[in-house]
Structure 1
Amino acid sequence: MTLPSGRTKPVRRSGAAGLFVVVVKDRARCFRWLTLRALLCLLLVATFVPFFYTFFYYSQASELVITRPSMFEQRLSSREDKVHALTLRNISTPHPCEGFVLPPPPADKKRTGPRPCPVCYLPVEQAMASMPTSPSLSPVLKRLNYAIEDNLVQNKSGGSAFGGYPSLQQRNEYFDIKESMTVHCGFVKGEIPGHNTGFDFDNVDRHEMEQCHGVVVASAIFGNYDTIKQPKNISEATKRRACFFMFVDEETEASIKNTTTLDNRRKVGLWRVVVIQNLPYADPRRTGKVPKLLNHRFFPNAQYSIWIDGKLELVEDPYRLLERFLWRVNKTFAISKHYSRPDVFLEGEANIKAKKYDNTSIYNQLEFYKSEGLTPYSQAKLPIESDVPEGCVIIRALTPITNLFTCLWFNEVDRFTPRDQLSFATVRNKIMARVDWSPHMFQDCERRNFVNQAYHTDVMKEMALPPPPSTGSD
């Protein structure tokens, strides 16, 4: 039958035949619907299961740290959890920075001096998880004690009452490293550093220093040479876990009070300010070497220290620096190389030319080192890449061997000149000749990545002065 529109009118079927056709059509439609739903479910499973697996895995053990710092702090609250964190860290191999290559410096003819370069750091939480759970190893030397002198006798070989006037014979014996040693290391007038020993501070400050059990960041300003600069980019977890101490003299303290406010905990921002009495030296530069090289004497419970000169502003988290320059390379002492001079004798000439210190004293110091066998730097000294550090930043584990190194380095500064770049190589070489230990000397451009350098206060004042009036005729 044909309809007016040209369509064919469907033929109605009755009885069993009609019922069979309806059932078959409904089953076919149901099967197609079920098949479509099943495929859609399989697609969803295939899409989201790997995502959730990756999210769960990395949130527990990988370099993509998703855990919030507060939860991370809770996980590391016990020794067992620290071991667990170390195990998780070992899962994350290779190291995320393994393929990092230092790019060449930008071609800028207008800027030829030193500049910062990129550094591959880990996130703060992951850097914290990389912190070793046991003390760093100290080859040969296990127990380091410090000399106390009741009756000081000045000798002709130099030194000071604060340093104890060690003789040249004692100096040489200290490089014969044994399992247990007693050496001169400042503070010789008493058993408690800073208590009637020179470089004195009060008991409240001492108690605060003894509470530092992990990482301490230290700096100093003497003679009002610099202004306090607040660290930047410090995580909240680090603010809770690390200590920040600034050592000053009374002159600098007075300047601080005129420009800012010390709170009831004697803090300026992150810095806990410690005022030093009974300064051991008239020269502020030499006094500054005490907290720089001997901070293990008054932070007896700390594990790691980061020293930055007072002219510098720290702009990276301390844990990221420790992971990058110590833990990643399995070292206990790190310092940057001088940006242009690897040779001690060239450094001495530059110091003389720039009038950094008394010329005769610099000359005599270098002649003494030459008589002991120190030679100009050359490629023959490789793998040692430099004899001259840029000593304004020191990153180290506070172990017996690194403490000995800085004690003996300080003794050279006490005996000769405060230009510590001149004595670094001699002490390093003598220790390396006796034990399997060496400092990590990284690129100076890497140092400039995590600190900003400012001028000393006197230089800034000179720069602020108006130019002198012209005396010429118009």
Structure 2
Amino acid sequence: MVLSKYNGEWLQERRGGIIGAILNSVARSEQGFRVGRRGRRFPRNFKLRFFHWLVALLLAALFLLYFATFDLKLLSNGNEEENNLSLSQEVHQKISIHDAAVTPPKSKRRKQHFPCEVGLAAAVDNIIEPKNYMNFTEFSPEYVEREKNPLPANSLESRFGGYQTLKEREKSFVARNQTIHCGFVKGPPRFSSTGFELSENDKAYMSTCRVAVSSCIFGSSDFLRRPTSRLISEFSKKNVCFVMFVDEQTLSKLSSEGHIPDERGYVGLWKIVVVRNLPYLDMRKTGKVPKFLSHRLFPSSRVCHFQPL
């Protein structure tokens, strides 16, 4: 072992060939590293400054990451809203085009009203009217023709339905032979007519009807609808009475519209019956007379049907 001086220090030098040379080179490199490390010293507050810089960089990276994510969400939401808006506009446009293609143009002509279809037999040759009706109780009611009860003190005129007492009203619901108030009641001799006056010819015609179909127009409140002739058989035309009750005002309006009765009083299949001296000022109440009292207007009829217009 030999001592050698290197850079002012005594070093042990082991002479042993290759191994010794390797050890000597390692020793020299370590010595040089020590010398270099001694010459590069960091300031005392380097660690604190380095920590501050690291925290600042980390916060900046977090802010950049947050804003990048937020911008992506805004961009995606904006794209979704634009896509939804464009989709809704496209659907609305297609619906508008479909409606325009399906909806026919409105006609300026007046809408026609056709009768409802009723399933009837093709022929009426085999219809047989029953001779007796076992499901009905036979009784013969009579009706008050003239008011016999004294008029109330506060009444100055007679009424179309008469002055029925509460006791008479309770008895009228029982199906038995009795005399009841049922409209068309005449007042005492000194009083005027109660209304709904018909001509004798019209009364005679309606008393012969076995099957009646009636309707009414009062106060020009509606327009005339004629029964469709091609849908009604010849048998019905000969055996059914089609009666239209109108007042003078409605008759004048119908004539001005071209519905003028012929010499027999017909407009198409309708037999026009003029009613004078209407019993009520309210035309709706007057219209209830032919609707609910058809058995009084057609006393011989087996079937009465009121057809509203």
- After superposition, the Cα gap between the structure-2 partners of 1:168 and 1:141, relative to the gap in structure 1 and judged at 3 Å, is farther
Per the alignment, in what secondary structure is the counterpart of residue 169 of structure 1? helix
Q: In the alignment, is residue 201 of structure 1 matched against residue 190 of structure 2?
A: no
Contact conserved, 1:150 with 1:189, CA < 8 A, in 2? no
Per the alignment, in what secondary structure is the counterpart of residue 205 of structure 1? helix
Per the alignment, in what secondary structure is the counterpart of residue 252 of structure 1? helix
1:181 counterpart residue number: 178
For residues 348-369 of structure 1, give each alpha carbon's deviation from its aligned partner in whole angstroms, at most 9, with x where no partner exists: xxxxxxxxxxxxxxxxxxxxxx
Matches within 5 A, 1:19-168: 121-126=119-124, 129-130=126-127, 132-134=129-131, 136=133, 139-148=136-145, 149-150=147-148, 152-154=150-152, 161-168=159-166
Contact conserved, 2:139 with 2:175, CA < 8 A, in 1? no
Residue type matched to 1:219 in 2? S
TM-score normalised to the size of structure 1? Answer: 0.36
Per the alignment, in what secondary structure is the counterpart of residue 123 of structure 2? helix
2:46 counterpart residue number: none
Residue type matched to 1:174 in 2? S
Q: In the alignment, is residue 228 of structure 1 matched against residue 228 of structure 2?
A: no
Contact conserved, 2:213 with 2:306, CA < 8 A, in 1? yes
Give structure 1 stretches of 5+ with no counterpart: 1-117, 312-474
1:216 counterpart residue number: 212
Matches within 5 A, 1:279-358: 279-309=278-308, 311=309
Q: Distance in 2 between matches of 1:229 and 1:130?
A: 29
Q: Distance in 2 between matches of 1:176 and 1:135?
A: 22
- After superposition, the Cα gap between the structure-2 partners of 1:303 and 1:153, relative to the gap in structure 1 and judged at 3 Å, is same
Higher RCO structure (Cα 8 Å, ≥6 apart): 1
Shift of 1:171: 1.0
For residues 416-470 of structure 1, give each alpha carbon's deviation from its aligned partner in whole angstroms, at most 9, with x where no partner exists: xxxxxxxxxxxxxxxxxxxxxxxxxxxxxxxxxxxxxxxxxxxxxxxxxxxxxxx
Q: Distance in 2 between matches of 1:136 and 1:169?
A: 31
- After superposition, the Cα gap between the structure-2 partners of 1:273 and 1:119, relative to the gap in structure 1 and judged at 3 Å, is closer
For residues 143-182 of structure 1, give each alpha carbon's deviation from its aligned partner in whole angstroms, at most 9, with x where no partner exists: 11001314552489xxx7110121222111112332x121
Residue type matched to 1:199 in 2? F
Contact conserved, 1:200 with 1:277, CA < 8 A, in 2? yes
Contact conserved, 1:164 with 1:188, CA < 8 A, in 2? yes
Residue type matched to 1:125 in 2? A
Contact conserved, 1:215 with 1:241, CA < 8 A, in 2? yes
Per the alignment, in what secondary structure is the counterpart of residue 143 of structure 1? coil
Q: In the alignment, is residue 171 of structure 1 matched against residue 189 of structure 2?
A: no
Deviates more, 1:274-283 or 1:166-175: 166-175
Contact conserved, 1:155 with 1:167, CA < 8 A, in 2? no
Contact conserved, 1:221 with 1:248, CA < 8 A, in 2? yes
- After superposition, the Cα gap between the structure-2 partners of 1:228 and 1:139, relative to the gap in structure 1 and judged at 3 Å, is same
Shift of 1:186: 0.4
Q: Distance in 2 between matches of 1:294 and 1:131?
A: 28
C-alpha RMSD over aligned residues: 2.8
TM-score normalised to the size of structure 2? Answer: 0.54
Q: Distance in 1 between matches of 2:244 and 2:164?
A: 29
Residue type matched to 2:186 in 1? K
User: How many residues matched?
Assistant: 184
2:250 counterpart residue number: 252
Identity %: 39
Shift of 1:184: 0.4
Shift of 1:138: 6.5
Deviates more, 1:248-257 or 1:137-146: 137-146
Q: In the alignment, is residue 267 of structure 1 matched against residue 266 of structure 2?
A: yes
- After superposition, the Cα gap between the structure-2 partners of 1:204 and 1:142, relative to the gap in structure 1 and judged at 3 Å, is same
Give structure 2 stretches of 5+ with no counterpart: 1-115
Q: Distance in 2 between matches of 1:291 and 1:270?
A: 18
Q: In the alignment, is residue 239 of structure 1 matched against residue 237 of structure 2?
A: yes
- After superposition, the Cα gap between the structure-2 partners of 1:288 and 1:129, relative to the gap in structure 1 and judged at 3 Å, is farther
Q: Distance in 2 between matches of 1:130 and 1:155?
A: 56
Residue type matched to 2:173 in 1? F
